[in-house]
Each structure stands twice: as C-alpha cells, then as structure tokens.
Amino acid sequence: MKIIYLITLTLFMQIAATAQLRINSGEEIFVSGTENLYTIESFSNAGKLSIAAGGTATLNGGSASGAGTIKGSSTSNLSIGGTGSSGTYNFDQTTLGTTNVLKNLTLTGTATANLGNALNITAGASPGNVLVGSGATLVTGGNLILKSDSAGTASIGNSAGTISGNVTVETFIPSGKRAFRLMGHPFSGALALTSLKDNIHITGTGGTTNGFDSTLSNNPSAFSFNEATFNGTTNSGWSAFTNISNTIEVGQGVRILVRGPRTQSNLLDDTRPTPQAATLDFTGAVKQGDVNVAMTFTGVGINAGWNLIANPYASKVDIGSIVSGNRNGINSFAVWAPNNGTRGAYVTTSFGSAYIIPASSAFFVQTGSAANFTFTEANKSSAAVSVVLLKTDPFKLNALQLNVVSDDTLFWDQFVLRNREDALETKDAMDANKMENPDVNFYSTTNNNDRFAIDHRPLTTNSVVNLGFTTSSDYHFTFKVANLDMPGYDVYLVDKFLNKQTLLSSSTAYNFITTADANSKGSNRFQLVFAKNANGVNEMNALNFIVYPNPASSEINISLSNANRGIYQFGLYNQLGQELKAGSFNFNTNSAQSLNIEELGMGVYFIKITNGHQTQTTKFIK
C-alpha cells in the first residue's frame, strides 16, 4: 500500500531537525514548502522523496542508502549538509527532463553526495545553480547536466568545495543568424573538436579524410587564434584546425561557424537556409578555483599582444570587474556580438564596471607583455549577460559615445571619446585599439595612425578629433548620440564630404550615405570639433554649490549658497568616469556638508550633485 505524508512548514517547526527520516518501501514523503528535513537514515528500494514546485528540502546529516528516489521539478531545491554525512542520491527517471530535475543543488558542511543517476539543473530566465561549499564534495558520476535554453543556462556557482567526475554543459545558440561565435570550454583538460561535431557541422580542409563534415569546398569552420600572426586585419591571426581530433586547450578561445543544428537539412549546400536554434553539449571535469590563462606577447608593432581568452568556468563571469593585478593592467577588452551588423562585430569596453559574459564564450584583450590573465571563483556571476543586451560602455562622465546604425534596428559599431586632462593625444594605457570588423568600422585616428575604439585625450577649445569610417558595402548609415557629457563644450560633427557641421545633442541622429567616391568614407570625411559653450559655466553652477578646500587632502566641504534647500544626490567620479562614491546630502538642516576623501589617491576628481531637475558638476584636486 502506498502511503503519502504531506509535510508542511508548521509540522517541521514542531519536530526537531535532528530526527531521523527513514523512507520505507512504498512510502512517499512530499515536501510542499521551504523546510528543514530530517537526517536521512535510508531510502528503501521503492521509497520516494518528492519536492514540490518551489519547495526546498534540506537534508542535514546522516546518509542516504538504498535505491529510493528523489523527485523534483524546475523550481525545486535540494540542500545536503551536516558533518560527515554521505550517501548516494538517486533521482526519479520516470519522465526524463521533468522528474529528474532540480533548480538548485547545494552542499554544505562536510557532506559528500554521490549522484546515482542523471540529474538536470534547470535552464530558463531564472536558471539553476550548483553550489559546493568548502569541505563538501559532490561526486557526479558523470550524471550532472547543466541545461541551457533561449532564456538562460544553469551554472556551477562560487564553490570552494570539491566537484569530481564529469559534468555535461549545454550551450544554447539562438536561431536566425548564420555567424561565427567566439567560444571556449569550462573543463580542466583539453576538449576535442569531436565534442562539437555531434551537435553542429564542423568542416575543414580534407573533408571526411580528416574527420570533418564534407562540403563542395571543404572551407574550414573552426579556427584557433595566434597572437604572433595577427596584423590588425579581419582575417589575420586565425589558423584553421586541420583534423577533427584537434583539441581546444584550457582557457583557449576559438572561432566556430554555427550554421544551425546538425539535424537541420541543407546546411552544407549553397542554399544557406536560416539557421534553427542549436544546443551544444560537451562533457568533462569542470575547472575550479583560480585559473591562470597565459597571454603571449610575440608580435610586432601596435597589433602585438592580442590574445583570445575563454571563460574557464561553467558559469557566467563578470570580466568587467576583474582587478587590474589579475589582468596585467590591461584596461579594455573586446567581445564579439554575432547579431551586430550582418556578420557580427566587436564591442570594445573598458574594465572597471560590471560586464557579464556567458559560459563557453571568449573575448579579446591586448597585453603589453607576456603574463597571466587570472580568473577567480569570485568572478562568477548570476547577473544578466551583457553581450546579449548589447551593453554599451559603462563610463559616461566627460564622455561622448556615437553609435552607427541603419534602418533604425541594425547596429553596426560604436565609438567612445573621453576627456581626460592627464591623457595623451597619441596612444596611452587607457586607450583601446580598434578590432577590425568584417563590414563596418568606426574609430578615431591620430597623427601616428593609431585607430581607437575608445579614445582618451585632453580636450580644449578648438580641439579636433579625426574619425575614420569604413564599410565593405556602400549603404545609408546613421550616427546616433548614445551619450553626451562634455561640460563647458559644444561638440560639432563636421562632414567634410558634404561641407556641413552639426551641433551634437543627446537626441542627434545624423544620416549619411557612402558611395564609390573614396572621400565618402575612410579617415578624411568626419571630424569632431570642440567649441567653448557660452552657457557652460552658468549651467555647471546652476545650483550654486561651492566645493572647498580645492585642492583638498582629507575631506571636501560642499556649501549651498542659495535658498534651494532639500535632499540632493551626489556621485564622486575619477577622470575615467568611474563612480567611486554615491549618496545623498540633506541641506534642509545644514547648508554645508562634508565628504571624506582620505582613501582617494592624488589626482583630479569630480563631484556631481543633482536634485533631479538641475545638475552641477565640479572638479577638485587632491
């Protein structure tokens, strides 16, 4: 006879969590909420622990034995803890992908959990997570599967414990775009290309002779990157894999053409159908702890030092906040956005603010010397992926950002200019060299022929910044102002081809066409020219705040010299536009406020004060 126990939160509050739980043959324990369950003494052959949708079962201590099963759902959670507890946990395989599913699996204390059969960690908009605390051990037995779909991918979070055995990691590739992807893998050993061939076609020279899928041309679809042979052009630095048995090393980024899933027909002929969605799955022992990826510096000139680095974890990673010492002082990175333009494009961003990349992805950095790029478990993140959101550069103070679009929806490229008094007009450490896109490129140029995606330079009245614009196919384009914060200056876009100038504002959209005429593109058509804003001083001091002393050593005082009492928000920024402090001042009770700046290094800073209607930005020196 089947006996079902319905256990509620009230019942668990009345019974000690140290009581032993024995699930006998034919019995089912049903957890309906977030509860502390008892010590597991045993699962008999037909016993079952069911965790309802949204429920959490916490198994504190003891051990699991027998062939009983745990039944979960996409929102069920299982936590296994205690001291010295161990056991094998079997999951209900009645409906694969439905009953053998958990959202979160957590191990704490010194628990050891062996997975006796397949367990899926759910994907989705709120994907699941596996956490193994310090001292705990998860033995996967090759049974752990991190699922992925269009909304999100399950992950292994910040875990100081031990995860042994193989894990299957899925990566979802959306439909609609036949494009190259920059990829990597999260395993502690090399991964053979054959791990991808079961999901997508991998082509290469020699076709089936070298284990590849065969086409009429046998053009390669999988490439590694070599820093020493990169010269700045789109296709330089790439080396095609020569055999399907070639491997992708730990931390190594590669370029893979995804035509669609292997199950889709006609992908290898010349018809090029619109790709359907594909899910890649590959298996191995996941990488944990600190990961050092060696960066080479063997090239020559301004294009030396570019390295393609893969996310080494089965988790999203916040690369934007990786500390300077772990990235050899590199100040910017470039990610590949497959949906930009027609064939994809690079998006260049400064380090220093959150930027989330997914598992199994890769990014470019340019190092100034051979060194390690170091990831830590703390770099793992559960936040939304930035590259999917086409996130733009996060530093907005004293900066201008122009985006290149067409037909209102097609995003091609972007350029960022920042005003920094201590910068050079030629290349310095904060500038980001331009990675060349296959179709459209927008950048600034210098007298030394530098090409910058992010350009830091000191700007004054009558400063001129030359802009380069190239395209593989003449078309109609639009420059859109995505950010404009240049206090005290009017910024004009000069179109020398059409002999016109446009005063930029936050809503500017400048339309233009490139033609067969060489002067309609290249490095001689567009300029930015800076003029003193006659209203700039008044606008900057519209709130009539006074900041003193200036220069300052340990604190600054902010005094309100008019009758505009109220609550004001402030932000403290460095010259890169990074927000160092934020908070509020209450001028209802005191017309002067102080702000401690002892922890700041010597340099130039800005304090920005607003009441929601007016804003004042004031520079001070420490």
Statement to judge: residues 437 and 491 lie in one domain:
yes
pLDDT of residue 394: 53
Q: Which residues constitute the domain of residue 510?
A: 399-534
Q: Place 579 in a pLDDT band, splitting at 50, 70 and 90.
A: confident
Query: Which residue, 394, 428, 330, 319, is CA-closest to 577?
Result: 394
How far, in Å, CA of 307 to CA of 325, rounded? 17
**Environment class of residue 32 by beta-carbon count within 10 Å: exposed (0-12), middle (13-18) or buried (19+)?**
middle
Statement to judge: residues 503 and 439 lie in one domain:
yes
Q: Which are the contacts of 615, defined by CB distance < 8 A and separation ≥ 6? A: 542, 543, 608, 609
Statement to judge: residues 367 and 457 lie in one domain:
no
Statement to judge: residues 250 and 365 lie in one domain:
yes
In tens, the pLDDT along 186-199 reads 999 999 999 999 99
pLDDT of residue 300: 79
Task: Using the Cα atoms of residue 193, residue 315, residue 69 and residue 32 in order, give the sign of their dihedral.
Answer: negative
Three-class SS state of 21 = strand
Query: Which residue, 365, 354, 452, is CA-closest to 400?
Result: 452
The distance from CA 9 to its chain's CA centroid, rounded to whole angstroms, is 39
How far, in Å, CA of 369 to CA of 298, rounded? 9
Count of the separate structural domains present in the chain:
4
Residue 274 lies in a domain: no
Q: Which are the contacts of 481, defined by CB distance < 8 A and separation ≥ 6? A: 400, 401, 402, 504, 505, 506, 507, 508, 509
Q: Residue 347 is inside which H or E element, if any?
A: strand 345-350
Q: Place 423 in a pLDDT band, splitting at 50, 70 and 90.
A: confident
Residue 271 lies in a domain: no
Give the tokens for residue 194: 């054959």
Statement to judge: residues 231 and 319 lie in one domain:
yes
Q: Place 53 in a pLDDT band, splitting at 50, 70 and 90.
A: confident
φ, ψ dihedrals at 208, nearest 5°: -65, -25
pLDDT of residue 541: 42
Statement to judge: residues 456 and 550 lie in one domain:
no
Statement to judge: residues 83 and 192 lie in one domain:
no
Statement to judge: residues 469 and 378 lie in one domain:
no
Three-class SS state of 312 = coil
pLDDT of residue 390: 39
Give the tokens for residue 74: 């996409």
Q: Which are the contacts of 364, defined by CB distance < 8 A and separation ≥ 6? A: 253, 306, 307, 308, 309, 333, 334, 335, 346, 435
pLDDT of residue 587: 84
Q: Place 23 in a pLDDT band, splitting at 50, 70 and 90.
A: low
Q: Which of 165, 197, 230 is the last residue of a domain?
A: 165
Give the least confident one: 33-37, 314-318, 469-473: 33-37
Contact 547, 557 (CB under 8 A): yes
Query: Which residue, 92, 122, 116, is CA-closest to 104?
Result: 122
Residue 189 lies in a domain: yes
Q: Which residues of 253-292 are buried (b: 16+ CB within 10 A; e: fewer)?
A: bbbbbbbbbeebeebeeeeeeebeebbbbbbbbbbbeebe
pLDDT of residue 543: 66
How far, in Å, CA of 611 to CA of 159, rounded? 43
How far, in Å, CA of 312 to CA of 297, rounded? 21
Any bridge partners for residue 464, and if so which? 529
Residue 304 lies in a domain: yes
> What's the N-to-C CA distance of the chain in angstroms?
79
Contact 255, 225 (CB under 8 A): yes
Q: Place 458 in a pLDDT band, splitting at 50, 70 and 90.
A: very high
On the question of pLDDT at 401 being above 70, the answer is yes
pLDDT of residue 563: 54
pLDDT of residue 44: 53
Statement to judge: residues 183 and 139 lie in one domain:
no
On the question of pLDDT at 535 being above 50, the answer is no
CB-side neighbour CA atoms (13 Å) of 79: 16
Q: Could you identify the residue written with the tokens 């140290």? A: 18
DSSP 420-452: -TT--SS--TT-EEPPPPSSEEEEEE-TT--EE
pLDDT of residue 86: 77
pLDDT of residue 567: 87
Residue 280 lies in a domain: no
Residue 371 lies in a domain: yes
Instruction: State the average pLDDT for the chain.
Output: 87
Amino acid at 143: N
Q: Which are the contacts of 408, defined by CB distance < 8 A and separation ≥ 6? A: none
Residue 22 lies in a domain: yes
Q: Which of 517, 534, 551 is the last residue of a domain?
A: 534
Q: Place 52 in a pLDDT band, splitting at 50, 70 and 90.
A: confident
In tens, the pLDDT along 545-578 reads 778 788 888 898 887 755 567 889 999 998 878 8
Q: Which of 369, 391, 413 is the last residue of a domain?
A: 391
Rg (the chain; Cα; Å): 29
Contact 97, 122 (CB under 8 A): no
In tens, the pLDDT along 302-320 reads 899 999 999 999 999 999 9
In tens, the pLDDT along 433-442 reads 999 999 999 9
Statement to judge: residues 141 and 96 lie in one domain:
yes
Amino acid at 151: A
Q: Place 329 in a pLDDT band, splitting at 50, 70 and 90.
A: very high
Residue 583 lies in a domain: yes
Q: Residue 73 is inside which H or E element, if any?
A: none
Statement to judge: residues 528 and 541 lie in one domain:
no
Statement to judge: residues 161 and 184 lie in one domain:
no
In tens, the pLDDT along 143-182 reads 999 999 999 999 999 999 999 999 999 999 999 999 999 9
- Average pLDDT (108-120) is 93
How far, in Å, CA of 429 to CA of 315, rounded? 30
pLDDT of residue 562: 55
Strands 86-91 and 112-115, by their bridges, are: parallel
In tens, the pLDDT along 275-306 reads 999 999 999 999 999 999 999 999 778 899 99
Three-class SS state of 356 = strand
CATH label of the domain that carries residue 543: 2.60.40.3080
Q: Place 457 in a pLDDT band, splitting at 50, 70 and 90.
A: very high
